[in-house]
Amino acid sequence: MASEKLQVIPLGGLGEFGMNCLALRYGDDILVIDAGLMFPEEELLGVDIVVPDISYLVENRDKVRAILLTHGHEDHIGGLPWILSELNVPVYGTEFTLAYVEGKLEEHRLLDDAELIEMLPGRQFGIGPFTVRPIRVTHSLVDCVALAITTPLGVVLHTGDFKIDLSSPDGHPFDLQAFAELGKQGVLLHLQDSTNVDRPGFTPGERAVIPRLDDIFAATKKRLFFSCFSSSIHRIKIAMDLAYKHNRKVALIGRSMDNSTEIAQDLGYIEPPQGLIIHPSKIKEYAPHEVCVMISGTQGEPMSALSRAAVDNHKYAKIEAGDTVLLSSRVIPGNEKSIYRVIDHLERRDARVIHDDGTNGLIHVSGHGSAEELRMMINLTQPKYFIPVHGDYRHLKRHVELAKSTGIPEKVLLLEDGDVLEIDSRGAEKVGKVNVGRVCIDNNSTADVVLDTVIRDRKHLGSDGLFLPIIAINKQTGAIEGMPEITTRGFVADDPELLRNARDVVRRTIEESSGEERKDYGVMKDKVRGDLKRFIQKNANRRPLIMPIILEL
């Protein structure tokens, strides 16, 4: 019976933005779709990235056949180093996606052992009982695909991130015909991107920004600093074309901007005219109206090129009064403070800052389909079952309502991370859960996992400070030597008597302990910590992190 059941198990990306990862299991064969990361919320102090808990995959490592990538954004490939350090399985992706992956794996010294296999839109290939057909979709990045996976029970369609753009700047439009053909053949299950479900209508195509950007290029009298997501290859190409049209040289500033542009040029997505791109050191050799600086840091990242230029701390990017700074991107929720801080610095430099769409035309368009595109895809594919993916719970809920309103899917299911959906000849039902969660990583290293206890300690330090009682104990007699010392960090005591009384508490704790307890420093630290905790909470209404230190004399 097990071989006649298909299981769909989201490990991340359902109930949050980012960390997209889903397991598709038939019998003893598992395919993993995407391996993303998520950037931490403010409360995850000191954490660099968050990746999905892959306990389920590790427990079933002998069944995992491959990882399939829909595209190269961090929320779909950023968790690969973590997963590949645990599971060395083949990774399939399009040419551009694998170029990003190679750089990421090389950074983590995993590239030599990785098996990266290129997949081409429209060309089928087999993995165990599955037949995979990548289908061209359009998004804010290039070379993106949806995955139509034929299983013994029927076709599972995973859209990845998409919008329907039939006039993509790279000449590779959304493949509507392929999805219409799938609908005629029959789709068992459709998993669809929920990001823009609450936006009515259709998302404009990438070319929709050209008129407004063209006006900005024409109206700018001095230097133009153009900032967008470094992965927005379409936008970079449009900016370069406009710079050429308006007789401006282009200087690329920022590591991510450099890397993405280099990959895009190598693969033929950007073909700048000879002499258009200049080294940043040459900027000063041209008149201000002859230069367009493409600079990374559109989200106000503290060490980004734009942030440093905004405070006049960049070697090449010098922003002067009358220069124009264009932020051709959306504000990612949570980044508002850092973005507006950079804008404030730019305004102090008397730069003209353009950072929203306004009423005069678009300077940015989303890479995700809006409600009518989502509805159109359901109408095209005619799925039997439907599951919304990629979004917070409210987005998934809204997407369920949209799918039901079409009257097409026989069953619409709302899944969350860890839910196990089982499909067989009798229907589709949730049958249980697997262990999922978030793994916090420091220093972008697969080795430096941050435990919940560490996060809790960091919160303690940030809110109530650190209390370090230092106690000297005679090794032979177990007697306390002198008065305990107390060092604090980030702890402010209003009462000058508090520290003296705290030393008395520590001394009494030691003196009232038995000789046997005094020789067990683990026991003594716990007793001192407990007595001090009660004393400080009662007298100062604070809960600092208490770390007793015992010196053996």
364 known ligand binder: yes
Q: What is the DSSP string of 533-549?
A: HHHHHHHH----EE--E
CB 427 within 8 A of CB 411: yes
Our answer to whether residue 28 is catalytic in this structure is no
Task: Supply φ then ψ for residue 420, to 5 degrees.
Answer: -110, 115
C-alpha dihedral (347, 351, 354, 358), degrees to nearest 10: 70
Q: Can you say whether residue 391 is alpha, beta or left, with left for phi > 0 and alpha for psi between -120 and 50 degrees?
A: left
Amino acid sitting at position 238: I
Q: Within 10 Å of residue 219's Cβ, how many Cβ atoms?
A: 10
Alpha-carbon span 360 to 369, nearest angstrom: 23
The secondary structure of 24-36 as a DSSP string is: EEETTEEEEE---
One-letter identity of residue 515: G
d(CA 205, CA 165): 5
431 among the known binding-site residues? no
Cα separation, 511 vs 238, in Å, equals: 76
Q: Judge whether 46 and 60 are in contact, CB under 8 Å.
A: no
Strand partners, 468: 487
Neighbour count for residue 247 (Cβ, 10 Å):
9
Task: Tell whether 367 is in a known binding site.
Answer: yes
Distance CA 498, CA 80 (A): 51
In the set 193, 417, 419, 464, the catalytic residue is 193
Radius of gyration over alpha carbons of the chain, in Å?
A: 28
**Residue 514: Cβ-neighbour burial (10 angstroms; 0-12, 13-18, 19+):** exposed
Phi and psi (nearest 5°) for 333? -50, 130
Asked if residue 396 lies in contact with residue 388, where contact means CB atoms within 8 angstroms, the answer is yes
368 has catalytic annotation: yes
Which candidate, 380, 325, 371, 350, places its Cα nearest to that of 174? 380
Residue 227 annotated as binding site: no
Cα(152)–Cα(130) distance, rounded to whole angstroms? 8
Residue 366 marked in a binding site: yes
Both structure tokens of 482: 């002198």
Q: Closest Cα to residue 539, out of 499, 506, 509? A: 499
Spatial CA neighbour of 396 closest among 70, 10, 31: 10
Tokens of 10: 């989201």
Could you say which of 139, 355, 368, 390 is catalytic? 368
Residue numbers belonging to the annotated binding site for substrate: 364-368
Q: Which sequence positions are flagged as catalytic?
A: 193, 368
Residue numbers belonging to the annotated binding site: 364-368
